[in-house]
């Protein structure tokens, strides 16, 4: 296996359990989409090129940090408190790269500083239809982590697909190896009602959801390369060419500092025990009903072509072939970055006040004209 590394974070912040791969042959978005939807290639086998964000887009990220940094910091405190309350002894945070990695770094720091807990933080790959990287899971246990100490962490849920993928992998792993790892997924924002614990279920703009590698330790999305053997971690590429634009460490430093200031200012009362987010935060329309209505209204056969929520909608505009961007309020500041990306890619925008989310991206089907 390749030596562990922390990307552009500090060594104490995280250990990425991935195999570092050489730069992958670039595959343009249109070609990648055709290969995925035809079944010729799985999405995890290909990477689209990542470039330095434009100055205008970087400014939108900076504004998102200004607007929502304090809210994210408070949510990180709330989530850290919930984990500290539920977990006895040492805590092993396992964030799902890349969306969970910045959150994992921040929670690691807060659990140590505010609750005095011993925390290890690993970031591992999970792939839809392929599962969590169990080689990485075996490694974590081999380092002495108790199975009951493991807490899985991500930034948000959309339709709950990854939460279900995680449960399937962990349930199978537990049966096979006679372990009792908790398959619950903790998130900052749980739009799908699929998390074991979350700080919110309101669809707000988590600033780090706007960027890709430059806010995630300079690593790519995970890749299942044919060069990987059965005992290798899932792969990723380390984007050193993006280093001049990297804000990964700056971002977690800023959110951590804000959270520590809030903790010092307000003290802390343990939150009431709960299985999930407060009912008053539930989206105004049932997610299953929304998905069914959208499939019918837009004649979408594959539910994977519907990506609800600000985080998932952003990912589509950054690295997929979007067909249409749906916005609940096209003038809301939370969707400024989406309007910018849609204009760059000539993606039509439709305002739909019925949306239970702030934004939804529809991916272009290979059968579309």
Give me the pLDDT at residue 83, please.
97
- For the chain, the 3-state helix, strand and coil shares in percent, each to the nearest 5, are 45, 15, 40
Q: Tokens in use for 307?
A: 């990506």
Torsion region of 193: left, alpha or beta (phi above 0 gives left; psi -120 to 50 gives alpha): left
Per-residue tens of pLDDT for the chain, all 369 residues? 445 799 999 999 999 999 999 987 777 777 777 777 777 777 777 788 889 999 988 998 999 999 999 999 999 999 999 999 999 999 999 999 999 999 999 999 999 999 999 999 999 999 988 899 999 999 999 999 999 999 999 999 988 999 999 999 999 999 999 999 999 999 999 988 899 999 998 899 999 999 999 999 999 999 988 889 999 999 999 999 999 999 999 999 999 999 999 999 887 654 444 444 433 444 444 677 888 899 999 999 888 899 999 988 998 998 788 999 999 999 999 999 999 999 998 999 999 998 989 999 999 886 654
What would the two tokens of residue 47 be? 């990477």
Q: Report the candidate in 194, 214, 162, 226 with the shortest Cα–Cα distance to residue 25.
A: 226
How far apart are the C-alpha atoms of 21 and 50, rounded to whole Å? 15
Pairing of strands 15-16, 126-127: unpaired
Counted residue by residue, the chain has a size of: 369
Helices (H), 161-286: 161-177, 248-266
CB 65 within 8 A of CB 252: no
- What are the backbone dihedrals phi and psi of residue 160, each rounded to the nearest 5 degrees, phi first? 90, 10
Side-chain-side CA neighbours of 189 within 13 Å: the count stands at 25
Which helix (H) or strand (E) segment holds residue 185: the answer is strand 185-190
Buried b (16+ CB within 10 A) or exposed e, 211-226: bbbbbbbbbbbbbbbe
For residues 345 and 30, the answer to whether their CB atoms sit within 8 Å is no
Tokens read off for 112: 């140590």
| 3-class state of residue 140 by DSSP | helix
Q: Considering only CA atoms, which of 198, 195, 356, 182 is closest in space to residue 284?
A: 356
Q: What is the pLDDT of residue 282?
A: 47
Could you tell me which of 118, 115, 110, 108 has the C-alpha nearest to residue 144? 118
What is the side-by-side order of every strand in the sheet holding 322-327? 306-308, 359-363, 322-327, 349-351
Q: What is the spatial distance between Cα 312 and Cα 235, in angstroms, rounded to a whole number?
A: 22
The rounded distance, in Å, linking the Cα atoms of 286 and 303 is: 16
* Greatest C-alpha distance within the chain: 58
In contact, 51 and 30? CB cutoff 8 Å = no
**pTM exceeds 0.95, yes or no:** no
279: exposed, middle or buried (C-beta count within 10 Å: 0-12, 13-18, 19+)? exposed
360 phi and psi, to 5 degrees? Answer: -145, 130
Question: Of 117, 45, 51, whose CA–CA distance to 84 is shortest?
Answer: 117
DSSP string, 271-302: PPP-SSS-GGGS-SS-HHHHHHHHHHHTT-S-
Q: Angle of helix 101-115 relative to helix 55-86, nearest 10 degrees?
A: 50
> How far from 116 is each of 152, 255, 343, CA to CA, in Å?
20, 19, 47
pLDDT value for 366? 67
- pLDDT score recorded for residue 368: 57
In terms of DSSP bridges, do strands 235-237 and 19-21 run parallel, antiparallel, or are they unpaired?
parallel
């Amino acid at each position: 296996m390749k030596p562990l590394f922390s990307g552009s974070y500090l060594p104490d912040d995280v250990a990425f359990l991935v195999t570092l791969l050489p730069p992958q042959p670039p595959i343009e978005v249109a070609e990648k989409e055709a290969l995925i939807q035809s079944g010729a290639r799985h999405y995890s086998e290909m990477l689209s090129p990542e470039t330095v964000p434009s100055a205008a887009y970087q400014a939108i990220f900076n504004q998102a940090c200004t607007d929502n940094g304090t809210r994210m910091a408070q949510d990180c405190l709330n989530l850290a408190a919930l984990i500290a309350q539920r977990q006895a002894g040492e805590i092993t945070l396992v964030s799902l790269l890349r969306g969970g990695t910045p959150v994992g770094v921040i929670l690691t720091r807060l659990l140590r500083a505010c609750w005095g807990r011993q925390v290890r933080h690993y970031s591992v790959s999970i792939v839809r239809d392929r599962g969590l990287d169990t080689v990485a899971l075996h490694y974590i246990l081999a380092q002495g982590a108790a199975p009951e100490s493991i807490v899985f962490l991500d930034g948000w849920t959309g339709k709950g697909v990854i939460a279900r993928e995680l449960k399937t992998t962990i349930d199978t792993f537990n049966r096979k190896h006679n372990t009792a790892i908790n398959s619950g997924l903790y998130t900052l924002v749980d739009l799908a009602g699929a998390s074991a614990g979350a700080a919110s279920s309101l669809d707000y703009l988590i600033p780090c959801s706007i960027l890709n590698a430059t806010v995630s330790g300079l690593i790519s999305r995970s890749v299942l390369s044919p060069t990987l053997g059965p005992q290798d971690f899932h792969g990723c590429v380390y984007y050193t060419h993006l280093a001049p634009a990297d804000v990964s460490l700056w971002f977690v430093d800023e959110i951590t500092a804000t959270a520590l200031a809030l903790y010092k200012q307000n003290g802390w009362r343990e939150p009431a025990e709960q299985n999930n987010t407060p009912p008053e935060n539930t989206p105004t329309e049932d997610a299953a009903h929304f998905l069914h209505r959208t499939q019918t209204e837009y004649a979408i056969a594959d539910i994977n072509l519907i990506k609800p929520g600000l985080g998932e909608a952003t990912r589509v505009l950054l690295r997929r072939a979007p067909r249409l961007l749906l916005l609940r309020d096209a003038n809301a500041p939370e969707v400024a970055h989406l309007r910018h990306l849609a204009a760059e890619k000539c993606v039509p925008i439709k305002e739909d006040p019925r949306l239970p989310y702030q934004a939804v991206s529809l991916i272009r089907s290979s059968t579309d004209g």
